[in-house]
Amino acid sequence: MKGKIVGLVVAVLALTLVFLTIGGREKEEAPVLNQDNWQEVFFDQSLPEGTLEFTFLPVDLNDFHYITPLGNMNPPGHTAPTDHIYFVHEWQSAGKPVYAPAGGKILWIQPFEWPDGVEHSVTIGVTKTCSYYMIHLVLDENLRVGDYVQAGQRLGVISRYAAAFDLGVMNRNLLQPFVNPKRYGYTQLYGDSPLKYFVEPYRSQLYAKVIREGEDKDGKFCYDQRGKLIGTWVEENAPPDPFKVPNWGDYQLTFAYDVYRPTLIRISLGEGFLALPGDPLSLLGPGLYFVQDGAIPPENVTPASGKVTYYLYGESSKVEFPPVKGERRGLLIVQMLSEDRIKVEAFGDTSSTTREFTSRARIYVR
């Protein structure tokens, strides 16, 4: 059943109206987001021309352990690779200060209510074409939409409701090559790597904290290639407007690569498959899976490939980081029916070499 709790970023896309009360000030109505006006909201044309430059660390280097780069997957909330990075910290870092890495205008504040408190995300415009946002902080009460902040100014403190503090950049001069842009929100379409915008020595200090094999420490979140299996797909019956769907990740399926070990294929399944009658082992839940050694790379799968079988593996039960492949959990069969349409079915079958499609197979599209 759809309606699972999803990540905070997806909740931001779904929001249509926010009221922010700051101290004794009057309530200020935030802009109403929809598919047509979000560019006006998050790229303020009253701001100057120029280039984004981060001249201050958002959090002290001692207040977090490592950085997860672009492209983390954690279905169903983040079935698609993430368009922002994570400053992963211990819980004792909650309450430590968060600073503005660049000066600018507060364009959006999103509160997230918890039973015993609140945390926020905040978007700050720096130039006409570049904005940045931070998630999982508790904003200082004196800040509101329309205020200008300076680089290095305290914005609030690290939230106690998450194990990571998030940072993302939107660059209107950079359009990510998604096959169907209408399926994506502003942070994905114009998402950019934040770390390259920091001045030295901060840039080198932050890259040194990134956990990722290879030379590319920025990561990647748009894997789409037209006519190829690689990238993110959406169930054929999904609603057309992601801004109005709080559980958007349930509809998604991604064939991509591991955020920490980018040579390893990962399959991110937003919604599982129920058991077939008389076949309890066919049950398979949502999750992020490794695949077998020697599997066909998803960028090599085309409509001419026919049915392709991937064995699905969970993460090892051993305490290792980054996580490694564990026991087999099932298998997934997929066939590209056309360049923008695939047939998919997954099973909790850990012994068969392949399966045939049944009536519960799903169609995914771009």
What's the pLDDT at 16? 32
Mean pLDDT of the chain: 91
d(CA 172, CA 128): 9
What's the pLDDT at 33? 56
- Strands (E) in the chain, as ranges, are 19-20, 28-29, 66-68, 85-88, 97-99, 104-114, 117-125, 130-139, 148-149, 154-158, 164-171, 191-192, 231-235, 252-257, 265-269, 287-291, 308-315, 325-338, 341-347, 362-365
Residue-wise pLDDT for 274-319, tens only, equals 999 999 889 999 999 999 999 999 999 999 999 999 999 999 987 7
The letter for the amino acid at 61 is: L
- Answer whether residue 22 shows pLDDT above 60: no
Pairing of strands 341-347, 325-338: antiparallel
Specify the residue for token string 């000030």: 25
- The DSSP string of 123-174 is EEE-SSSEEEEEEEEEE-TT--TT-EE-TT-EEEEE-SS-SEEEEEEEETT-
Whether 197 contacts 310, CB under 8 Å? no
The set of residues, in sequence order, having a beta carbon less than 8 Å from that of 86 and lying 6+ positions away, is: 67, 68, 72, 164, 165, 166
- Answer whether residue 1 shows pLDDT above 80: no
User: What angle is formed at CA 265 by the lines to CA 237 and CA 172, rounded to 5 degrees?
Assistant: 65
Domains of the chain and CATH, by start: 8-207 (2.70.70.10), 231-365 (no CATH)
What's the pLDDT at 79? 98
Residue-wise pLDDT for 169-202, tens only, equals 999 999 999 999 999 989 999 999 999 999 999 9
Instruction: Name which of 284, 256, 255 is nearest 271 in CA terms.
Output: 284
DSSP three-state, residue 41: helix
- Structure token pair of residue 302: 């085309």
d(CA 113, CA 25): 20
pTM, 2 dp: 0.88
Average pLDDT over residues 162-172: 97
Burial of 298 (0-12, 13-18, 19+ CB in 10 A): buried
- Structure token pair of residue 105: 């205008």
- Answer whether residue 29 shows pLDDT above 90: no
CA dihedral in degrees (126, 128, 129, 135; nearest 10)? Answer: 40
d(CA 324, CA 333): 23
